[in-house]
Structure 1
Amino acid sequence: MEIAGFGVEEWLNEWETKATVDIAQSTIASMTMNEALNLDGQGGATFYEKLDAAKMNYGWIEGSPAFKREVAKLYQHVDVDGILQTNGATGANHLALYALIKPGDHVIAEYPSYQQLYDIPKSLGAEVDFWHIRESADWYPDIEELKRLIRPDTTMICLNNANNPTGTILDRAFLQQVVDLASSVGAYVLVDEVYYPLTHSEQFASIVDLYDKGIATNSLSKTYSMPGIRVGWTASNLSIANRFRKYRDYTVICCGVFNDMMAVHILAHRDQVLARNRRLVTENLAIYKDWIAAEPKASVVLPEGVSTSFPKLEIPADQTEAFCIKILQEKGVLLVPGNRFDMPGHVRLGYCAPKATLERGLSLLSDALHDV
């Protein structure tokens, strides 16, 4: 099979280790092991007691019962047997697409979004139509366009909610319209849900709580600030999960004993993690808003309490990547150029870096913009 290069990942692979001021990442400032272990108020003593007694074998192949129970609590209508542990959300997306898409299928993908959601189906031989998001509509797609795109033979609609890179949330009412159209032709709806909104979260609904043929993918990497353990999951009905099980055996055996234990620990203390991250999002978003208001060479559709944003910069669109290389080499600031999402003139800016990093990065970005 042939597949396009993964734009954002290729960029980060080349440049992220060279940065001193990283405001490109879409994770909410990652926790240290010390910070994560202290969530139990005992300095991790209970966790280490369990870890010391654990055998470093393959562990629970699909994720431990404790892991499945904690993940199932995130949804209203998913049984523990509908949860499968994966290697991050990237592993979850790959599993779902690998299991359900075949040559000749018709797939509709939100665009731009996380590149897996349209280029993996293409690589599997599917016909992929883009459902465009538009800055003029606050990065929402047009439901009327979806009505024109959907066909009786449409197999799947792929969404990223919240969207990477823009941070836009498709609310419950809008998703219900998507579900109504999908159900009219029996299409699956796959939604990468790694960005849970930490403000106005009542507007958010998981696709698996709206649609029996919905598939949610998620991980602990973004909202839960633990990308280092590489644990994600699929959530679906039992029939879909059983189909995934066969394909999963070919892609991942397990995610590791330690990783599973740490995932359970984080999820069991999710209220503390989300409180920490809600404060960080709220405080940093205020800093970001002030910077946007004062910076004439930048504008943005502000995200709804998620950790990624996609500002438009007053630079020549065909020089977006050159600008990002220049600011990295001269000032140490890392951004992701928008052309890596097929949207030149913009950059992905992760405003949920540590506060000092964000403030320094925005200041240096202003300097670079005024040097153009």
Structure 2
Amino acid sequence: MVKIVDFSVESWMDAYETQCKYNIAETCAASISIDHLRELSEDKSREILDQSKILTYGAIRGSDALRNNLARLYSAKTSHPLPADNILTTPGAIAANYLTAYTLVAPGDHVICHYPTYQSLYDVPKQLGAEVSLWKASPENDWLPSIDELRTLIKPNTKLIVINNPNNPTGAVLKKSFLQQIIDIASEHDITIMCDEVYRPLFHSITPLDPEFPPSILSMGYKKTIATGSMSKAYAMAGIRVGWIASRDPEIIEAIANARHYTTISVSQLDEQVAAFALDPNTIHKLLARNIQLAKMNLEIMDKFVLENDDEVSWVKPLAGTTTFLKFQRNGKPVDSADFCKKLLEKTGVLLVPGDLCFGAEWKGWVRAGFVNHTEIVKEGMDKVSQFVRKNLDDVKLADD
């Protein structure tokens, strides 16, 4: 039997998400309805759902409309278009990441994983029998890991390098030249790179005009790359449960497609129709503009919160995505982040995520916030957090040494 450890962040959300008044743990851009999606489209006459369509399994690997739209996005600003056949749809990015590891990783393999990050990216390879090395980033280096350290982590049996760009929980970005260095190392050793790009393309604090703006890993010229994504985070539609796996290497796609038969068969035709409509050229620009503007407005709220509480709170300001990591301390010592979050929820109704419980024991005092919920929720919630810090921080335990 596979040993499955507790998936800490999902267990936390499962336990507390329905109890809060201000959900600032949510990692999706404020979710939209189908009616709202229709309003965002420039083609108001086009139906989102074809209700006459017979509800068979549908296209096994994903609908043509959805995969063609995804291929168009991955082919932008590159001289090498990505074929739609190089994309598989999945029930969310969590399934995409799981299937990639399940297909490519075996007992005795070695995996290197960017860290801190979403727990499944490193724990699933462990469950599959691989040795996993954490490639650790630090706030002192703006949440960038060391390229020199990556070189030292490579082993003869290293099968996969896993990165998360933009990063959850920090909101940091691995920029273009940094990605190129990762590719140079991977290509030298013939190692596959998987990049969880679920928060792409929600870039709120770096623009495509910046020469260091990070392209998708699929646009960097290295064949043995895999990108995973979904409609949940940047596209504000977690409820349709649509994700995908894309790769420049058709052999990788075929191997994952074979494994996928055991888990998925196909993704819901209804969900894929909604996703295809959202990613259509008539809709995607307004949808993303809405979410990026929301992120920018709400980031100002977070920035003001940190400035007003700078004796107790520090951070590295995020560049992209929907999350940020905040460090809370009292008299220079980190608080017990789980105790902080529980007492905060009890006193104020604000939900945050404790860093050391959900992202690694070394992140004492760190708390993840998801700041791209509706602006009024974020503003009112962070005002409550400020009040809690001023009135109740002395009641919070300090982290163990």
Tell me the CA shift for residue 318 of structure 1: 5.9
Q: Which amino acid aligns with 2:355?
A: G
Matched with 2:299 is 285
1:303 aligns with 2:321: no
Paired with 1:201 and 1:82, the residues of 2 have a C-alpha distance of 28
Tell me the CA shift for residue 164 of structure 1: 0.7
CA contact (8 A) 2:199 2:320 kept: no
Matched with 2:195 is 191
SS of residue paired to 1:173: helix
Paired with 2:233 and 2:279, the residues of 1 have a C-alpha distance of 13
Per-residue CA deviation, residues 50-97 of structure 1 (Å, 9 max, x unaligned), is: 522111221111111111100011213421111000011101001100
CA contact (8 A) 2:327 2:334 kept: no
Alignment of 1:195-214 (within 5 A): 195-196=199-200, 197-199=202-204, 200-202=206-208, 203-210=213-220, 211-214=222-225
Tell me the CA shift for residue 317 of structure 1: 4.0
Per-residue CA deviation, residues 88-108 of structure 1 (Å, 9 max, x unaligned), is: 110100110000000000111
Per-residue CA deviation, residues 335-361 of structure 1 (Å, 9 max, x unaligned), is: 011011012211110111111111111
Alignment of 1:335-346 (within 5 A): 335-339=352-356, 340-342=358-360, 343-346=363-366
Among 174, 178, 181, the residue aligned to 2:178: 174
Matched with 1:81 is 85
Q: Which amino acid aligns with 1:150?
A: I
Paired with 1:11 and 1:188, the residues of 2 have a C-alpha distance of 32
Paired with 2:42 and 2:64, the residues of 1 have a C-alpha distance of 24
Structure 2: gaps of 5 or more residues? 394-401
SS of residue paired to 2:193: strand
Among 247, 250, 253, the residue aligned to 2:262: 250
Paired with 2:133 and 2:39, the residues of 1 have a C-alpha distance of 47
Q: Which amino acid aligns with 2:25?
A: A
Matched with 1:368 is 388
Structure 1: gaps of 5 or more residues? none
Alignment of 1:1-372 (within 5 A): 1-40=2-41, 46-47=46-47, 50-76=49-75, 77=80, 78-196=82-200, 197-199=202-204, 200-202=206-208, 203-210=213-220, 211-236=222-247, 237-268=249-280, 269-296=283-310, 297-315=312-330, 317=334, 319-339=336-356, 340-342=358-360, 343-370=363-390, 371-372=392-393
CA contact (8 A) 2:41 2:286 kept: no
Paired with 1:356 and 1:94, the residues of 2 have a C-alpha distance of 35
* % same residue: 39
Paired with 1:13 and 1:47, the residues of 2 have a C-alpha distance of 35
Paired with 1:201 and 1:65, the residues of 2 have a C-alpha distance of 31
SS of residue paired to 2:74: coil
Per-residue CA deviation, residues 229-285 of structure 1 (Å, 9 max, x unaligned), is: 010000002111011110000111111111010000110111111111121111111
SS of residue paired to 2:262: helix
CA contact (8 A) 2:173 2:320 kept: no
Paired with 1:305 and 1:174, the residues of 2 have a C-alpha distance of 16
CA contact (8 A) 1:192 1:216 kept: yes
CA contact (8 A) 1:110 1:133 kept: yes
CA contact (8 A) 1:97 1:121 kept: yes
CA contact (8 A) 1:338 1:345 kept: yes
| The 10-residue stretch of structure 1 (28-37 or 214-223) with the greater mean CA deviation from structure 2 | 28-37
Q: Which amino acid aligns with 1:337?
A: P
Paired with 1:109 and 1:243, the residues of 2 have a C-alpha distance of 21
SS of residue paired to 1:349: strand
Q: Which amino acid aligns with 2:165?
A: N
Tell me the CA shift for residue 201 of structure 1: 4.1
CA contact (8 A) 2:217 2:227 kept: yes
Larger helix percent: 1
TM-score by length of 1: 0.96
Paired with 2:365 and 2:350, the residues of 1 have a C-alpha distance of 17
SS of residue paired to 1:47: coil
Paired with 1:54 and 1:317, the residues of 2 have a C-alpha distance of 56
Q: Which amino acid aligns with 1:279?
A: Q
How many residue pairs get matched?
370
Q: Which amino acid aligns with 1:21?
A: Y
TM-score by length of 2: 0.89
Q: Which amino acid aligns with 1:290?
A: K
Tell me the CA shift for residue 322 of structure 1: 1.2
CA contact (8 A) 1:87 1:231 kept: yes
SS of residue paired to 2:303: helix
Matched with 2:397 is none
Q: Which amino acid aligns with 1:143?
A: I
Q: Which amino acid aligns with 2:268?
A: G
